[in-house]
A and B are shown apart, each in its own frame.
Chain A
Amino acid sequence: MARKPKRPPRSAAIRARRPIARRPRSTPPPVGGLDLHRCEQFLIHEARLLDEGKFDEWLALFAPDAWYWVPSEPDQPDPHETVSLIYDDRRLLETRVRRLASPRMYSQEPRSRTSRIVGNVTIEANDRNACTVRSKFVMIEYRREQQRIFAGTALHRLVRSHGRVMIAWKRVDLVNCDAPLDGITIPF
Chain B
Amino acid sequence: MTSSETLHSLVQSGRVHRRLYTDPAIFEVEMERVFGRAWIYVGHESQVRKPGDYVRTFIGRKPVVLVRDAEGKIRVIHNQCAHRGSLVVANDKGNTDEFQCCYHGWTYHLDGRLKAVPLQHGYPRDFDPNNPKTAMVSAGRVKSYRGFVFASEATDGPSLEEFLGHMTTSFDDMIDRAPDGEIEVAGGTFKHAYEANWKLYLENLCDAAHPLFTHRSSIDAAQQQSDAVYSDGSGEIAIRQMRQNGAPYSFWESQVGIWTYPNGHSYLGDYHDDAKLVAALKDPVFRDYIAAMEVKKGKAETRRVLEVRRWNSNIYPNLSFMSQFQQLRVVHPVAVDRTVVATYNFRLKGAPEQIFRNTISFANTVNGTGSLVLTDDLEIYNRIGMGLSSEGAEWIEIGRGLQSDAPDAHGGRQGKNSTSEVYIRNMFDAWLRYMADGRAAMRAVS
Contact = CB atoms under 8 A, between A and B. Distances in A.
Contacts of B216: 102, 104
19 contacts: A2-B232, A73-B188, A83-B188, A83-B367, A83-B368, A84-B364, A86-B368, A86-B370, A94-B225, A98-B220, A99-B218, A102-B217, A104-B217, A104-B220, A105-B376, A106-B214, A182-B194, A182-B195, A185-B370
A163 interface: no
B72 to A, nearest CB: 28
A88 interface: yes
B221 A181 contact: no
B224 interface: yes
Interface of A: 1-5, 64-65, 67, 70, 72-73, 76, 79-96, 98-99, 102, 104-107, 178-185
The winner among A84, A91, A105 for most chain B CB atoms within 10 A is: A91
Interface of B: 186-195, 214, 216-218, 220-222, 224-227, 229-236, 238-239, 242, 340, 343, 345, 356-357, 360-361, 363-364, 367-370, 372, 374-376, 378-380, 382-383
B188 A95 contact: no
B231 A90 contact: yes
A105 to B, nearest CB: 4
Contact of B225 (A2, A4, A73, A91): A91
A84 B343 CA distance: 12
- Lowest 4 A-B CB distances belong to which pairs? A92-B235, A183-B375, A102-B217, A99-B221
A117 B422 CA distance: 50
Contact of A83 (B187, B194, B233, B382): B187
Contact of B369 (A1, A102, A184): A184
Contact of A106 (B217, B220, B374): B217
Contacts of A1: 227, 231, 236
A1 B242 CA distance: 17
A4 B231 CA distance: 9
Contacts of A4: 232
The winner among B226, B232, B383 for most chain A CB atoms within 10 A is: B232
Contacts of A184: 369-370, 375
Contacts of A3: 230-232
B191 A88 contact: no
A144 B227 CA distance: 36
Contacts of B238: 92, 95
A95 B193 contact: no
B340 to A, nearest CB: 4
A85 B190 CA distance: 8
A83 B363 contact: yes
Nearest to A76: B188
B368 A85 contact: yes
B379 A183 contact: yes
B190 A2 contact: no
B212 to A, nearest CB: 11
A135 B444 CA distance: 55
B242 A183 contact: no
Contact of A87 (B191, B214, B234, B343): B234
Given A98-B225, A183-B192, A88 B235 contact: yes
A79 B218 CA distance: 22
Contacts of A98: 220-221, 224-225
Contact of A91 (B186, B192, B229, B370): B229
Given A83-B345, A95-B235, A183-B374, A64 B221 contact: no
Contact of A92 (B193, B239, B360): B239
A96 B233 contact: no
Contacts of B234: 79-80, 87, 89, 92
A67 to B, nearest CB: 7
B370 A70 contact: yes
Given A72-B369, A89-B231, 18 more contacts: A5-B232, A64-B229, A72-B189, A72-B368, A80-B234, A83-B345, A89-B233, A89-B234, A90-B231, A91-B239, A93-B235, A99-B372, A102-B217, A106-B217, A106-B380, A179-B191, A182-B369, A183-B374
Contacts of A105: 217, 376
B229 A94 contact: yes
Nearest to A78: B360
A107 B379 CA distance: 5
A104 B380 CA distance: 13
A3 B372 CA distance: 23
A29 B378 CA distance: 47
Contacts of B380: 106
Nearest to A3: B230
B221 A72 contact: no
B214 to A, nearest CB: 7
A184 B368 CA distance: 9
B192 A181 contact: yes
Contacts of A70: 370
A183 B357 contact: no
B360 A82 contact: yes
A23 B234 CA distance: 34
